[in-house]
Amino acid sequence: MSDSDPKPFDPYDPEVLARANRAILVGLQRQGETAEEAQYLLDELHELVGNLGVEIRGSLIAKIREESPRHLVGSGKMEEIAALARSKECGLVIFDDELTPAQQRNWEKDSNGLKAIDRQEVILDIFVSRAKTREAVLQVELAQLEQMLPRLKRLWSHLDRQRGGGAMQRDAGETQMEMDQRKIRDKIAKVRRELASVVAQRATQRKQRQRVPLPTLSIVGYTNAGKSSLLNRLTGADVLAANQLFATLDPTTRRLELPSGRTLLLTDTVGFVRRLPHRLVEAFKATLEEAVQADFLLHVVDLSSPERMKHAETTLQVLQEIGAGDRPVITVLNKADLLADEAERAEALAAHPDSFLISTKTGEGLPALLEMLEKCAADRDHRMTLLIPHDQYPLLGRIHARATVLSSKAEDAGTRVEAIIPDRLRTLCLPWAVPERV
């Protein structure tokens, strides 16, 4: 072998291992897409990758008319990207689009060991690093296993495998790969069983909450729009509210005491993102079920983002996918403190009719939002006069605990109570309702 010949790829070479944490980002601009849209998605990929601690040494946008089945981009662009990666001493190319297992194998083969991954793999890795509770860990593990299964050939590409012939003619590499596939399928089945158990526990907890006649409100929106910050501001909770994508994976429920004395159950949910891996949507359906079961949805939009309309569309699309598209939605435009121009504010309100400008940082707009939440809660309430017999003392206790009692007076026949009764408590109270005088 001459000095000019490329060095054979060795995945355990120290130099290769060092390059593995340095990356080139590749965005795609398809026909019909603007350069601005492609650049914004590439910038978002930059932020996603930054959450993993990978060093980004360069980026580019590839214009494509149609996808190449071999490398996603054409052969000329593939060589250009590979040359850029080598010049920057990078061992990793990250695409802002989905790569097939075959395309990933082809990249490693045709570029002499340059590894190629996509946005979906990046998002999965972020979820792995952020998952804390048992449910989130299981959901992420399930998504990882389902992604890994069709990519096993890529892991075993350094072994020779016989093509064709019966099972007895296959060598150790092929046999090991089949064994690994079986192990992964078995692991998938086990994780699904464990996740089903956790989901059943969550359903039990939800039923216990539903016995309490309180309206429920789920906060939804694009990742990093300020959902956790809003929950903290309204309820005084201490949920992690970092300025990073996917800071919150697990739903958190807190009680919100409204000025009138009414109470709501407010739940923070995992954020959405464009091109969210479908397997993650499937895996997190149990978590996102909080949104499906909620009486109302509080849709948080980042007012300061130039892509807020796309973000809102993504959120509504995912809500449709999980079966929450029919829930009543209250839209809030957060981070109003970052947008001082009145014309731009007016334009944003026109683009999102019936929305509220708020700032979780300064408190702007929160009184108006609380007033709207009062109206939503009131729509589910019933003002009733009740005469509760003395032997129904437990019901009287529930009314005082779960309703807004306006007056209470002891009489010979029982206790006369005038109260605002939540919808879920109304059926229990009907037998003791005092007919209204005409």
Q: Is the pLDDT of residue 62 over 90?
A: yes
pLDDT, mean over the chain: 81
Q: Which of the four pLDDT bands, split at 50, 70 and 90, describes residue 157?
A: very low
On whether residue 347 sits in a domain, the answer given is yes
Q: What's the CATH code of the domain at 54?
A: 3.40.50.11060
Note whether 113 and 246 are same-domain residues: no
216-221, strands of its sheet edge to edge: 252-257, 263-268, 216-221, 296-302, 329-334, 356-357
Note whether 389 and 423 are same-domain residues: yes
Domain boundary among 113, 128, 143: 128
On whether residue 1 sits in a domain, the answer given is no
On whether residue 6 sits in a domain, the answer given is no
Is-contact 370 235, C-beta < 8 A? Answer: no
Q: Distance between CA atoms of 377 and 296, rounded to whole angstroms? A: 10
Note whether 228 and 331 are same-domain residues: yes
Phi, psi at 140, each rounded to 5°: -70, -40
Q: Is the pLDDT of residue 17 over 70?
A: no
State residue 74's pLDDT score. 92
pLDDT (mean) for 148-174: 50
Buried b / exposed e across 14-29, counting CB within 10 Å, b at 16+? eeeeebeebbbbbbbb
Q: What's the CATH code of the domain at 417?
A: 3.30.70
pLDDT (mean) for 338-352: 89
At 363-397, the pLDDT tens digits run 999 999 999 998 887 777 678 899 999 888 888 88
Q: Which of the four pLDDT bands, split at 50, 70 and 90, describes residue 162?
A: very low
Domain count of the fold of the chain? 4
Q: Distance between CA atoms of 374 and 353, rounded to whole angstroms? A: 20
Note whether 52 and 120 are same-domain residues: yes
On whether residue 4 sits in a domain, the answer given is no
The 3-state DSSP class for residue 332 equals strand
On whether residue 409 sits in a domain, the answer given is yes
Note whether 43 and 189 are same-domain residues: no
pTM of the model: 0.70
Q: What is the DSSP letter of 126?
A: H
Note whether 297 and 151 are same-domain residues: no
Note whether 92 and 137 are same-domain residues: no
On whether residue 156 sits in a domain, the answer given is yes
Note whether 227 and 360 are same-domain residues: yes
Note whether 178 and 149 are same-domain residues: yes
Q: Tokens 């601005």 identify what position?
A: 36
State residue 215's pLDDT score. 80
Note whether 283 and 192 are same-domain residues: no
DSSP-assigned letters across all residues of 27-57: EEEETT--HHHHHHHHHHHHHHHHTTTPEEE
Q: What is the dihedral of CA 183, 184, 185, 191, to 10 degrees?
A: 110
On whether residue 149 sits in a domain, the answer given is yes
Per-residue three-class SS string for 388-434: ECHHHHHHHHHHHHHCEEEEEEEECCEEEEEEEEEHHHHHHHHHHEC
Q: Is the pLDDT of residue 5 over 50?
A: yes
Note whether 261 and 394 are same-domain residues: no
Torsional sign, CA 59, 64, 70, 72: positive
Query: E strands within 121-167?
Result: none
Q: Which of the four pLDDT bands, split at 50, 70 and 90, describes residue 60?
A: very high
Q: How far is CA 348 from CA 313, 315, 331, 334, 342, in A?
A: 15, 17, 12, 11, 10
State residue 25's pLDDT score. 96
Strand 404-411 and strand 414-422: the pairing is antiparallel
Phi, psi at 8, each rounded to 5°: -55, 145
Q: What is the domain range of residue 319?
A: 213-378
Note whether 425 and 357 are same-domain residues: no
State residue 143's pLDDT score. 84
On whether residue 188 sits in a domain, the answer given is yes
Q: What's the CATH code of the domain at 300?
A: 3.40.50.300
